[in-house]
Every structure is written in structure tokens, then in C-alpha cells.
Structure 1
Amino acid sequence: MGAEVAIDGFGPGAQIPLQGGSGLTGATNALASAAYRDSPLETIKDADNEHYKTTIKPGKWEKLFRPDLGEAFSRAVQVRMLGGGRKALVQSFGAEPQPVVEHCLAATHIRRRRDAKLTLVTFVCGVLFLPGLLLWLGVIHLRRMAAGSANKRSSALGTALLYAVGIFALLVLVKLPFDGLLPNYLRAMIVAPVIGWYLAGRICLSAATDLRDRWSGLLGGGGVSAHVPKSVPTDPGEKSAEELRVNLEKLSAEQQSNVVFYAGPKGILGLGTRWGSWALAEELVPQEGREIHDFRAWDLVRKIHDQLTLLERGALKTGFPKPTVKHWIVSPVGEGADEVSRPEGDNIVHYQVKPHEIQRICNEQQFGAGNRHYLGVQFTLWDGNVVLTMMVTVTSLHHTLRIEVTGHALGPVHGLFTSKPKGKSKEVSKTVRFWETKEIPQPLLGTDDIVRLAVRAPLTWYPPVLEFLGGKMSLPEPFGLRHVWAGPLWRNRFMADDAIRMATPVVRAVHTAAIRFLDEHNVDTERFTNRSLVIGGGVQEPGPRKADVYDA
């Protein structure tokens, strides 16, 4: 592993467990399941929230070349997260982005194997008998247009047209003479596309079943692995495999970055909006007969850090989860910013700000332009579906010391990503009790689905053309896999309770550490203690509010 680090400059990011590892599988698997879904692409709009909107660009021949959700999602995620000229990503707190990307690669591999077989079938049974293929495609297209019409007469006309062409084809097969090349070619021209349609149906059904099994397995907790061929280079000449390996390691390294971005009412990107704020600000007065021992903000922050790491210890065995305590550098970006950029320079290594630079920012950059230092304590709950973060900042102005604690909450992955595959069915009226309806099971793949996949297959090797013809989805920016599809937290009573209950012990731990530290440095802590008691009373019943939005 040391040789690899020396080659590309990145450590083994993929091998480092992130924020508890197994506690993130729920949200990770839910997001990864999108790569295997065969739902209509438009359903991704259901997961949009007030801050982030997914864009769907229609194609020129959308009806025939349209992608489904899994195809478009896999393509968009790969381009955005592994592309050569990709922009900076927002960390996916509560989920691990690398497994999601690997499942997108695995789903693409399954589809490309399917498309290779479909291309062969299309060439043998379609291109060699092109007039017959165009005839059948025209009939199917007319039938689709008629079936989509609200006019029942037009819909029935489309079905009648399909039967009429079938009868005509049968007459051609019977009435044509059996001698000569042309009559036999005309017969083959009619029959070959039908045979190709049957073979294509078997190929498509096998792939669709495989994709649905993986979709169901991920959401069922079965531990479905993502098989990505040539993701590990076995030879120095395997440039594509080496490039993929380096890009995945960069992705993991960026996920571990200690730089986050504040975007106004959107809150800290990846951590959610600020729902509560508690500030302890009092004048520094020496104890009677003594002088204050000089200290800096970093000295106090270190004591608070040590106290927060002890949160899981208590007199009662309550199962309080172990928090992740980390120093963050918060960089401001505009509310409408469509991208973020990570800092570079001698003080940055593997997307991480060096400790001495963190200390300098904490002590010196408390006012005016520039980045700010925050001490974060984070809890990842509900199998990664809830990320609760308390951010602590220490500032001083003249003789006033201000210790502020803010609460941030990231809600669960949207319900779209947690829905399991269902069999297709059609609702029809009962024969006798016509006022009642019943569900009739439908095939997993219809004729239109098989035709669509067969027509798309030869073009999957050059996605830009396929996107031009069928359309594509564009991910919301600034992009991070987790926060752009986070659902509301406060509509779930238990999740909201967890966020509210977490605030009290964290605020009190911060105040305890601060007052103890100030007392050791000969500061009169009477005012700080009184103010802490007032805040402690107020935090008994904290209510969520939009603390990032000021009514000014």
C-alpha cells in the first residue's frame, strides 16, 4: 500500500471506515438502489426538495430512446463523481459515496452485457432485414401513439392496426411463391424481426430480473456486492483500471475532508440547516486579587474537545451513541452558488487542512472575511438516515468571550429511494360488478420496453448520442449524494425527538468544560455560571426553528 501512496499521492481512503462504518449502510444502500431501478425517469423529481432540483433534459426522439431511472442515474453519478474535469463534491454525511458509485458502475456493466447481446440480435434479425424492421417499428410507434391517446376509439384503432399488419404478414408468407431469392427474403424480412423480438425479450427479461434482485437485495439488507470489472489494475498497462482506482481513492479522500461550506439559508452543505442556537457571551473579569492567565481560543477549544469525547460515558447505561468529534473549517459560499471549490496550497494535504492551520484560523480568523473554525460533534443515527451535528465556535472581542453552540440536522433519504420493487399490474373493472375494480398482473417487460432497449443497445457505447436522442438527467448543484435527496426530519416524531434530546447534554458539556477552563485561568466565572443556568433552563424544551433565516 505504501507504494500506491507514493505513486498517486493519496492514502488508502477506501479502506478507512467512515463515521462508524456499518451504521451508514441503510442510507448508502438506499441511494445505491437507484442504479438498478427500472422506474420512469420522471419519478426522480419526487425526491426534490425546496433547495435542490433535479433537471431532466428531453431528447429529440424521447419516446423511442428514453432512459429509465437507473440508466440515467448511473450515467449522471459516474460523470459527476468520476469524470476527469469534475468539480468539487460536498461530503455525504450519513452515507458512503464510493459504494454508491461502485453500484452505478456494476449496474452499467450489467446493462452493457445485455446491450452487447441485443446489438448482435438487432444486427442479425434487424439490420440484415431492415425493411421488415422499419415496418414493425412504424406499426409499434403508431400503436404507442394511439394507446397514449385519451380517445378510446384511437386506442382501439392502434390495436386493430397491429392485428391487421399481422394478418398481412401471414398472407405474405403463404401467398408468395417459394422459389426465388426475393420471395424468400420477403418472408424472412417479416419473420426475422419477430424472432429477434422474442430473443431480445428473453435477454431483456434476464437482465431486468438480475437488476431487480439487486435492487431488492440492497433494501432488504442482504449485502449485495457491486461487481466492477477491471476496477483493480493487474498490469501497469491497464490505464482505464488505474484511472478508475485513482478516481475512487480521490472520492474517498474528498469524503474525509475537514472543509465544509456554508450557503446561507441552505445551511452547511451536507450537514443540513441550523435549527437551534445557544450563545454564552460574558465579559472576562479576573478573580478577586488575581490576574487572568493569558489564553487563546484554541486552548479553550481543546478543553471542550476533550469533554465532548466523554459524552458516551455516564452514570446511566442509556445506550447514548458514541459521537464523532472533529475540527471543521467552514468556508462561506453564496446561497445560489452552483459549485464549490476546495482550498489548495501548502496547508492542504489530501483535502485536509493541516492542524497548525486549523489552530491559526481558530485564533485569528474570528471576524471579517475568510474561513472560520468550528468544533463539531456528530451523531449518525437510524442506520445513516439521520445526521445530527452540534457545532461549537469560540470567539473573543475585546474583553468579551462568546461560546456558541448551534444544532444542525440532516433528514432521512427520501422515500423514493427506499421503495422496493413491485410487480407491474393494471387496474380494470370487474365483468359483473362493473362498479368495482381489480388488479391484473402484467408482464415485467412489455413490447414497448423490449423495443426501446433493443433500439438503444447499439448506441450505449457512445452515451452522448444516446442522451441527445433520449434525454438525460442533470444532478442538482452543489452536489453531494446525501444532502440533495434528504427528506424532512421534523415530520418524523422519533427523529425530531432525537435531535431535540441531543442538544441538552452537548450544550451542558460545552459549558462545563468552558467554566472549568476559565476557573483554572483565574477568570471570575459567576456570570458565566449564571448565564449557563439560564441557557440550561431554555434548552430543557428546545424547539426547531429556521435559525439560518433572519427576519431582517
Structure 2
Amino acid sequence: MAGFDDRKLGVEVDFSLGAQVPLSGDTGQTAATYALASAAYRDGPVKPLVEANEATSVKAPKLSLFEPNLGEAFSRAVRVRMLGGGRKALVQSFGTDARVVVDHCLAATRIRRARDAKLTLVMALFGLLFLPGVLLWLAGFQLRRTMAGAQNRSAGALGVAALLALAALVLVVAVALPVGGLLGLYLLAMLVAPVVGWLWAKRICENYAKDLRGFWSSLLGGGVGARIPEAVPQNPNDKEAEKLRQALTNVAAEQSSNVVFYAGPKGILGMGTRWGSWQLAEDLRPAEGVDDINPFRSWDVVRAIEDRLRMLERTPLHTGGFPKPSIRHWVVAPVGEGAKEVARPGGQEVESFQVKDFEIQRICNEQQFGSGNRHYLGVQFVLWDGQLVLTMMISVTVLHHTLRIEVTGHALGPVHPLFTTKPSPKEKEVAKHVRFWETKTVPLPLVETAEVVRLTARAPLTWFPPVLDFLGGKLALPEPFGLRHTWANQPWRHRFMADDALRAATPVLRVVHAAAIKVLADNGVDTEKFGSRSTFLSGAVQAHTPSNADEYGL
């Protein structure tokens, strides 16, 4: 990784009380956060992760024996993308604490580094001293892996036959050595020692597989804190830890940015596609008996709407109602639908990824037509423990004598079901010996033979990530990248989530219109047409169904 040295992540798992990353402090966001974080601890192939998003891809490995599994590929890709030096801008992960996900990727890497350190020792003892035999065994496993990967079953059988032939060779050499003396003993040890090393490696892999699956299960069962002491500087000269700490701080700061990106039919990145739009646009005419309206600006209307929106959680009946929403002023920057990256604004108007208040007010009042960023007032609800993010965006524009108030609805659905699956126990049913008509469940090893060989072969190369990426391939994340929207599904297939999105639109729309009409009335504007149009929209929104609002069909 360019931002900091991966080799500083440590080689031992510290189970003592020490520096820990606290659990997410944002209420209502834990389910989606922990579901994404659990991917860092998972085993199994990478293919399901690629299928979860068509834009995700895996660089083909040169040797399949060195290819990463799902957890290894995910944690490596996320760490490089979000913490690497010179990284591109990130898309905010609404409804998710992205810092917690990155923390767990680091913690999972720490556990695997501890395992790989021991496996590297095994390879040093049994690989360097008996290198010809180890290479012979690895070649057999690589052949089997290559053949088994083909769709032709006979090819897979050929791979198994190659291993059986190699085992037979070991037996023949052990019984009748072609040569004697020290050379004969070495030839025998050369073929037998890798098997002994495999038994040792298997125990190591089993122990750490239990740890990784334990974190995986705990995250989906309520959450667990990530332990990353390497992010805590031990002394003023600990530059690597300080770089990592600053990188994590930048991730948290960028997630709090008030700049978002509109990517055409993809909607606002991180907030989901635009599913509904309601526009109130009428002429500004003096009220009866008024010579001229009092001058006011778009910002005055926006501030009045903001004040009224902060009372959304209040209701005259004790029936629950809205939770407390997040209400923010957003600067929306346009990007192309197929853009591969986004650029955050800079300059004196921006501080710590935040556009300052005076610049937001200027954009609201002056930048309403032509090129440039636009201002929106957003009210956001994070529901279903972060699995559903509803955002209503309000814009106020004045062109000539026409005041336009537009309310659009954006919905970000739950994370892909892949991330919510718990680890299943590895076991099989077999017939009992005596009562053969009955079956019993027999536990299977957590780590299969081929997986032990893969982990052991990869272990020495984990200290050289570029070499391992070259030989084993790596995961390529979709761009522009954001943890939440990359693997989000549409909420419309879930009845209650769809209901929540539709129900939120009506009260928000009515509050926006009521606040705006009050400002107009206070400034001597004839509100008759505004009121009529508002009543029409208030009735129309009740029958509104989700649609592709950004695909105009022209």
C-alpha cells in the first residue's frame, strides 16, 4: 500500500486489553456497517462478491494456487482504496460508518498476518531444506487446481489422479530407494517432510480459521470492536502508526463532507437513484392591495423550510412517527454517468472536506442557472439499522418572475444479501454403523487440504504484496467507490421499506410547501396560485409509485 507499509501491521494477535476502536456511535446504522465489515473475515471464493456488483472485477491470477479468497481480497482492496497514499476521492457511505468497516479490514489483516508468520516459518523449515520435494507437491496441487477448475469433470479427475500418482511415488521411494546413503535419506525426507509440514500448517490454519469465523459470526450477531493497535503511535517517532492514524482520520472526515455528486441516471452517488420529483413553480406577483413585494432571496426561503423540517418528529398523536432526521445543506456537483472518479472542490471556501457556510449561501442565491455546483437542502432518514436510507432533497430557484421549489426523493436500499449470511458449520450427514437407516452429523475440518496448501504457499509472499498481487490477482473495486452504494440493492422489493419511502414523501412535501408559502405571504406575494398548486401536489403524491425519475424517455 502506498500510504503506509503493510509489513508494520504486526505478526501476532494480541488478545490482551489494549487499544481498541470503539463501536459505531451512530445509532441506527449498525446492521449495514457490521454486514459490510464481516466481509473482511469471510472465507470462500471471490466470485459471489463479483456477482453482487457487475462493475466489480478480479484480475486473473497467474497461478491459481496464489489467488485470494473473499475476505483476503475484500480487506486488501478496501485498505488500499481508502487508506493508500494519493488515493482518489471517496463517495460518502450514508447509513454506514465507513471508518468501522476499514478498521475491521485492518483487524482481519492483522489476524491473517499472525497466521502467515507461522506458516512462513513452516515453509522455511520444510520448504527451503527440502525445496525439490515441496515444489513437486505444489506442482501436483496446482495441476489438480487447474484441472478441477475446468467444467469437464474428467479434467478434475485427472487432477486427483496426478496427486494419487505423486503419493504412489512417495510410497515406492520409501519402500525401495533407488540410491542409498545420505542421498537416499534426503530423497526420502524430501518427499515425506512436506507432508509433515502440511500437518503442522493444518493445525495453524484451523486455529486461525476459528478466530476469523468467530469475528464474522459476532459482527452479524450484534457487533464487536476492531483491535488495531498499530494505528496508535507508541512514540513521537512512530511515523508508520501516525500515517495510518491520519489516514483513518481522513476517511472519517471525508465521510462527513457536505459535497455529493449527481451522476445522471445513477442519481446522487451514495444516496441512491431519484425515484420521485414534485415541482411547485408559479409567478411572483404582489398580493392584492400591495404595490410591490418585499425583496427576499432563495436563502430566506431555504432557512424557513429548514426550521420547519426540524419539527418533523413532532406529532399531535402518540403514535411514534418519524425518528429524528438529519437535515443538512448540500453542495451537489455534477459528474458523468460513466465517470470513473470524482473530484472534491478545494480552495479557501473548503475546510476539512466541508464547504463553508458563506459559500453555501452564495451558491444557493446566485448559482441557479448554467454551469457550476448547485445547492440542495436535504432531510435524511436512516432506517432499518442502516439498511434503508431515505433522502428528500429540496432546491429553491428564482428565474425572472418564477419561483420554483423542487422536492426529489432518493432511496438507498439494503446491502446485498451476501453480506448478511452467517458462517455455516462445515459438517455432513452419514449413516450410522449399526442402525444404518439412521443418520448422524459428523463435523468436517474448517480448512480443507487444498486450502491449507494455498494458505501455506501464499504465506511467504504476503510480506511482498505487489508480488502476490501479480501472481494471485486482486480485486478491482467499482468507481467512483463508496462502501455503501456499491453493494446496495433497490428497496422496492421489500414491502415495508417501499412503504416507508412512499410515506415519508407526503409530510415532507407539505412541510416544505407550508414553510415556503408563509415566507411568500410575509413578503407581500400573492400565494393563491402557490396554494392551489401545493394542494394539487399534496393529492398527487399520495398516489405516487416509484419510477425512474432520471430516465426521461425522450
TM-score, length basis structure 1:
0.91
Deviation of 1:124 after TM superposition, in Å, equals 0.3
Query: 1:329, 1:373 within 8 Å by CA — same for their partners in 2?
Result: yes
CA distance in 2, matches of 1:445, 1:348: 51
Counterpart residue number, 2:35:
30
8 A contact 2:206–2:445 mirrored in 1: no
Mapped partners of 2:152, 2:245: distance in 1? 54
SS in 2 for 1:225: coil
Matched, 1:373 2:375: yes
- 1:333 alignment counterpart: 335
Structure 1 runs not aligned, ≥5 long: 1-13, 432-436
1:544 aligns with 2:549: no
Q: Which amino acid aligns with 1:347?
A: E
CA pair 203-506 structure 1, distance change in 2 beyond 3 A? same
The separation in 1 between residues aligned to 2:271 and 2:358, in whole angstroms, is 25
Counterpart residue type for residue 332 of structure 1: P
Separation (CA, whole Å) in 1 of partners of 2:453 and 2:329: 54
Which SS does the other structure have where 2:375 is aligned? strand
C-alpha distance in 2 between matches for 1:217 and 1:403: 47
AA in 2 matched with 1:491: R
Q: Deviations over 1:100-153 (max 9, x none)?
A: 011011111111111110011011012211122122223333444455566666
Give the SS at the match of 1:124.
helix
Q: Name the counterpart of 1:5.
A: none
- Name 2:201's counterpart in structure 1: 200
Letter in 2 for 1:228: I
The Cα shift of 1:448 comes to: 1.0
What is the letter of the counterpart of residue 306 of structure 1? D
- Report the equivalent of 1:210: 211
User: Structure 2 matches for 1:73-472, cutoff 5 A?
Assistant: 73-148=74-149, 158-176=159-177, 180-221=181-222, 223-290=223-290, 291-319=292-320, 320-424=322-426, 442-472=444-474
SS state at 1:286 partner:
coil
Q: Which residue is equivalent to 1:530?
A: 532
Q: Post-superposition shift, 1:316? A: 1.5
By how many angstroms is 1:426 displaced? 7.1
- Aligned residues of 1:118 and 1:203 also touching (Cα < 8 A): yes
- Secondary structure of the corresponding residue to residue 331 of structure 1: strand
- 1:520 deviates by 1.1
Q: Structure 2 vs 1, CA of residues 440 and 550 (structure 1 numbering), >3 Å: closer, same or farther?
A: farther
Check if 1:44 corresponds to 2:46.
no
C-alpha deviations, 1:494-527, integer Å up to 9, x for none? 1000000000000000011111111111111111
SS at match of 1:81: helix
Q: Amino acid of the residue matched to residue 485 of structure 2?
A: H
Point out the more displaced range, 152-161 or 305-314.
152-161
- Does the CA contact (< 8 Å) of 2:21 and 2:225 recur in 1? no
* Equivalent-residue separation in structure 2 for 1:229 and 1:335 (angstroms): 40
Query: Structure 2 vs 1, CA of residues 299 and 154 (structure 1 numbering), >3 Å: closer, same or farther?
Result: closer
Aligned to 2:522: 520
Superposition CA RMSD, Å: 2.5
**Structure 2: 5+ residue stretches without partners:** 1-19, 434-438
SS in 2 for 1:58: coil
Q: Tell me which amino acid in the other structure corresponds to 1:532.
A: S
Distance 2:534 2:274 in 1: 21
1:457-479 deviations in whole A, cap 9, x for unaligned?
00001111111111111100011
Aligned residues: percent identity? 63
For 2:157 and 2:351, how far apart are their aligned partners in 1? 67
Question: Within 5 A, what are the aligned runs for 1:63-78?
Answer: 63-78=64-79
**CA–CA distance in structure 2, aligned partners of residues 515 and 235 of structure 1:** 60
Contact 2:299-2:361 within 8 A present in 1 as well: yes
Relative distance call for 1:527 and 1:196 in structure 2 (3 A) is same
Q: Distance in 2 between matches of 1:15 and 1:138?
A: 43
What's the CA shift for 1:348?
0.4
Change (3 A) 1:187 1:344: same
Matched residue of 1:90: which SS? coil
Q: CA deviation at 1:234?
A: 2.4
How big is the shift at 1:354? 0.6
Quote the offset at 1:155 in angstroms: 5.0
CA contact 1:46–1:416 (8 Å) conserved in 2: no
